[in-house]
Structure 1
Amino acid sequence: MTESPPIAAIIALGITQIIGYGTLYYSFSILAPDMSRDLGWPSEAIFGALSAALLIGGLMAPALGKWIDRFGAGRIMTAGSAIAAAALVACALAPGRISFVAALIGIEAASNLVQYGAAFALLVQIRPQAAQRSITYLTLIGGFASTIFWPITTMLHAEISWQQVYLVFAGLNFVICLPIHAVLSRQMRRNRVRSGKASPARRVEGTLAASARRMGFVLMAFSFSLQSLVSSAILVHMVPLLSGLGLGATAALVGTFFGPSQVLSRLTNMLFGVNLPPLKLAIIAATLMSAAVFLLIPTAPSVAGAIAFAVVFGLGNGLFSIVTGTLPLLLFGSDGYGKMQGRVMAARLIVSAVAPFALAYLIGSIGVVWSLALTLAAGVLAVLVLVVIGQLARNGSASEAAATQTSN
C-alpha cells in the first residue's frame, strides 16, 4: 500500500522554509547597500564576503549530512534554527568587518542546517516511500519565500535599520522555526519507537545497481553542479545581463516573470507529474534551463524574447529544486540519504559561490553573448550527463536481470 505524504509536517516545514530562505538568503541583497555603507566597504566586497561564506558553508556540508543521518534531521534543524537566530544577532551587532564576516559564515552554516537539503532529509526520515511527493509539495510552498520576503524586507527596512531587521528575523527563526523543528523531531522519535527504528518495509531501495553507484553519484553531482553554475550565475546577473543585451530599463521588469514561473512549474508537476520518474523530470529541468539561454541569445534585445527566457528559465529552475531531493532518493535509496545530500550540496554550494564571479569576469573579458554561449554549453552538458545516468541505470537493471536468470 502506497504511503500518503505527511501533510501536516509538509505545511509546518513549508513555513520554516519560507522563513529560512527569506531571512537567511533573499533579504541579503536588499540590505547589502546599507551594510556596505555602515562597514565602509564597496558593495563588491560585501557580496565577496557572502561568496566566501557560501564557499565555507559548502565545505562544511558533507559533515552536516553525516550529522543528519546520525542524529536525525529534526534535531539538526532544531539546532540550526538556534544557530541561525544567534548568527543573525551576531551579524546585526558586529562591531567590525572581521566579526561581520564571521557572523555571515555562521548564517551560511545555519542555512545548510535548516533549508531544503535538511528538510528533504527530514521528509525521507519521516515517511520514505512518500518522500518524492512530499518534496514536490514542500518546494511548492517554499517557492513563495522570495515573493513574501522581498516586500517584507523592503517594508521593514524603510522603517528600521538593517541591523534591526536582522534582529527581527532572528526572532522569527527562534520563536517560529525552532519550536516547529523541535515538535517534528519529537514526533519522528515517537514514530520510530512505535514502528521500530529499522523497519525494512519503510526503506526505499535505490534503482542503481551496487556496481554502478560510485559512477552514478559522480555523474549526478557533476550534473547538479553544472546546473547550479548556470542557475546561480544567471540569477545574480539577470538584470545586468538583460541590460547588456539592450533591454535597458525593462530588464528589471522582465526579471519579475522568473519567480511566478518557478511556482507554476512546481504546481504543474504536483498536479500532473505525479507518475513522472525523477530522472525524466531532471532531464526536463536541465533542458528548460538550457533552452531559456538558447532563446535569449538570438532574440535580444526583444522584450518578448527576454520574457520567454525568464519564464522558461523559471520553469526549469523550479523543477531543479525538486529533483535535487528526489533524484538521489530514486537512484540510491533512503539509507544514508543525509550524508549523500551533504556531499551533493557541498559541490553545488562551492560552484554557486564561484559562478557569479566567473560570469562577471567572462562578461568583462569576452562580452555578454559569448558568456551566455559558454553558460549554454554548461547547461547542455548537464543534460547529456543525466542521459548517461539513465543509460547507466538501464544497463545495471539489464545486468541484474541477466544474473538472476543465470542463477535460476
Structure 2
Amino acid sequence: MRNNASSAGWLIPALGMTQIIGWGAMFYAYGVLMGPMQAALHTSKPVIVGAFSLALLVSGFLSTLAGAIIDRFGGRILMGAGSVLAAVLLALLSRVDSVTELYLVWAGIGVAMSATLYQPAFAVLTQTFGAEYRRAITLVTLFGGFASTVSWPLTQFLLGKCGWRDTWTIYAIANLLLCLPVHALLPVFRQDRGAKAAETATKATLATVLREPRFYLVTGAITLNALVFSAMSLHLISILQARGVSPVHAAAIGALVGPMQVLGRVLETTIGKKATSRQVGLIAIWLLPLALALLLAPSEWLLVYGVFAAMYGIGNGVMTIVRGTLPAELYGRETYGAISGAMATPVLIAIAAGPFAASLVYSLTGGYAGTMLVLIGIALLGAILFICVTNHSPLADNLPVLKKVEP
C-alpha cells in the first residue's frame, strides 16, 4: 500500500533542499574547485575532468540497481546510506594528494550520486504521491533548479575564505547534518499483497519493458537530447565567441539559461499541467534543435541569441521533468524505480561523454561551425524518435489490474 500523500507534504521542500545540497556539492562545486585542485595535484585539466566523468559513469551504471532497491524497500535505506557515503567521500576528497586518490574518491561519489540525486528522489516521490507524482516531481525540480545558483557563488566564497580542502569538508558536513536526517525520515514503503499479486499477474517488470521496442525509442530520444545539452554546457561560451559574440555578451547569454530552466519548470506545472508528459516532452525536445539553429544567426542579432537562451533553457528545464515522469506514464508506477533507472543509465553516460564527444567533433571538423551542424543533427534525430513515442498508447493503459490497485 502506498503511503498517504496528504501526510507527506513536508517531503517536497525537504527533498528539494537535499537536491540543492546534493547537486551543489557533488556536481556544480567541482566546476569552481577543479582549478585549484589541478594546481595542487600538479596534473592536467583533462585528468581533473576525467575524474568527474568517472563519477557520472558509475552513477549511470548503478541507476537501475538503485531504482530496483527503492521499488522493493523504499528510499529510506538507500538514500540515507547515500547521504552518509557522500559525507564520507566529500571529506576524503578534501584530503586527496594524488590523481589515483582523486579517481578512487570520485568513483565512490558516483555511487553516492546514484543513491541521492534526482533518480532515487523521483522514485520515492512516485511511490509516496501516487497519482500526484508528476506535480511532486515538478516541484522538487524547481528547488533543484537553484542548485547552481546557490552552489557556484557559495563555493567561490568558501574557496576564497577557506581554500578548496576545507570547502569540501563543509559540503561533507552539510550532507551529514542536513541531508541524512531528511533521508532517514522518508516514508516507509510497504507494498501490500494485492499490489504484489497484480504486478506478478501483469508481468509489468523491467524484463517485459526491455523487450518492447518503444522503450528503446524513448530512451534513445532522451539520451540524444541529454548528449547535446551536456556538450553545449561546456562549449556554449566558446561557440558564442566563435560566432563573433563578444565575451561580455556571451557571458550574459549563458547566464540567461539557468533562470530559463526554472521558468520552463514553472510553465510545466502551470500551463502544461493538464497535458500528458508525452505531449509536454514533444514540445520541449523540439525546442533544442530549433534553439541551436538560432546560433547560426549573425553575431549582431543579439535578440535572436536571447531567444536561443530562452528556448534552450526552457527545453532543458522541462526535459528534466519529462525524464522523471515519462516512465510512470508509459509503464505504470509499480516498477518505476527499475524502469526509470534503466532509462537513466544511457542518459547519464551521455551526460558524461557529451563534452568530450563535442571536443572530438570539433577536432574532426576543424571548428565549431561543423560541430554545430552535427549537434543540430543529433538533436533533430532525438526529436524525431520522440514523435514515435507519442504515437503509441502507454503500456500502463493495458495493465488494468495494476491500475486498479493504485490509488
Shorter-chain TM-score above 0.5: yes
**For residues 88-118 of structure 1, what are the alpha-carbon distances to aligned partners after superposition, in whole Å with 9 as ceiling and x for unaligned?**
0111112311011110111122111111100
Whichever residue aligns with residue 326 of structure 1, its letter is T
Counterpart of 1:245 in structure 2: which amino acid?
A: R
Aligned residues of 2:82 and 2:116 also touching (Cα < 8 A): yes
Alignment correspondent of 2:152: 150
SS at match of 1:246: coil
Gaps of 5+ in 1: 402-408
Contact 1:81 1:110 (8 Å CA) reproduced: yes
1:125 CA drift (Å)? 1.3
**Farther off after superposition, 354-363 or 293-302:** 293-302
1:247 counterpart SS class: coil
Aligned to 1:119: 121
Q: Which residue of 2 aligns with 1:232?
A: 230
CA contact (8 A) 2:332 2:396 kept: no
8 Å Cα contact 1:213/1:332 also seen in 2: no
1:213 shift after superposition:
6.6
> Once the 2 structures are TM-superposed, how far is the Cα of residue 5 of structure 1 from its aligned partner?
9.4
The 5-angstrom pairing of residues 12-161 of structure 1 reads 12-161=14-163
Cα distance, 1:365 vs structure 2: 2.6
Which ranges of structure 2 fall in alignment gaps of 5 or more residues?
401-407
Asked if the contact 1:157–1:165 (Cα under 8 Å) also holds between the matched residues in 2, the reply is yes
Percent pairwise identity: 31
1:375 aligns with 2:385: no
Which residue type is aligned with residue 295 of structure 1?
L
- Inter-CA distance 395–225: structure 2 relative to 1 (3 Å threshold): closer
SS at match of 1:335: coil
**Between 170-179 and 352-361, the greater mean CA deviation after superposition:** 352-361
Does the 8 Å CA contact 1:77/1:181 hold for their aligned counterparts? yes
Alpha-carbon distance between aligned partners in 2 of 1:59 and 1:117, rounded to the nearest angstrom: 13
Distance 1:271 1:263 in 2: 13
How far has the Cα of 1:54 moved from its partner?
1.7
Counterpart code for 2:380: V
The CA RMSD over aligned residues, in Å, is 2.5
Moved more, 373-382 or 299-308: 299-308
Could you tell me whether the CA contact under 8 Å between 2:284 and 2:319 is conserved in 1?
Answer: yes
- TM-score normalised by length of structure 2: 0.89
* Aligned residue type for 1:320: M
SS of the equivalent of 1:273 reads coil
- Check 1:400–1:77 CA distance in 2 against 1; reply closer, same or farther (3 A cut): closer
1:181-208 alpha-carbon deviations (Å, 9 max, x no partner): 1011xx334xx4xxx635649x9999xx
Distance 1:30 1:395 in 2: 44
Per-residue deviation, residues 126-156 of structure 1 (Å, max 9, x unmatched): 1221101111111111111111111111111
- Residues 343-367 of structure 1 deviation map (CA, whole Å, 9 limit, x = unaligned): 1111111111111111012123312
Answer with 293-302 or 138-147: which moved more: 293-302
Instruction: Give the match for residue 358 of structure 1.
Output: 357
Mapped partners of 1:139, 1:22: distance in 2: 13
Q: Is the 8 A contact 1:5 1:134 kept in 2?
A: no
Tell me the equivalent position of 2:241. 243
Per the alignment, in what secondary structure is the counterpart of residue 297 of structure 1?
coil
* Offset of residue 248 of structure 1: 3.0
Mean Cα deviation higher: 15-24 or 247-256: 247-256
Structure 2 CA distance for partners of 1:49 and 1:276, relative to 1, 3 Å: same
Tell me: CA distance 1:400–1:94, structure 2 relative to 1, closer, same or farther (3 Å).
closer
Alignment of 1:323-338 (within 5 A): 323-338=322-337
1:226–1:267 CA distance, 2 compared to 1 (3 A)? same
- Counterparts of 2:27 and 2:209 in 1: how far apart (Å)? 39
TM-score, length-scaled by structure 1: 0.89
Amino acid at match of 2:30: F
Q: Which amino acid aligns with 1:375?
A: L
Shift of 1:293: 0.4
In 1, Cα distance between equivalents of 2:393 and 2:89: 43
Give the alignment of 1:281-320 within 5 angstroms: 281-300=280-299, 302-320=301-319
Closer/same/farther in 2, CA of residues 346 and 79 from structure 1, 3 Å limit = same
Query: Of 173, 176, 179, which residue of structure 1 is paired with 2:175?
Result: 173
CA distance in 2, matches of 1:369, 1:220: 29
Secondary structure in structure 2 of the residue aligned to 1:127: helix
2:192 partner letter: K
Partner of 1:404: none
Q: Which amino acid aligns with 1:78?
A: G
Does the C-alpha gap of structure 1 residues 364 and 314 become closer, same or farther in structure 2, counting only changes over 3 Å? same
- Code of the aligned partner of 1:219: L
1:130 & 1:379 partners in 2: Cα distance? 31
Deviation at 1:330, TM superposition (A): 0.1
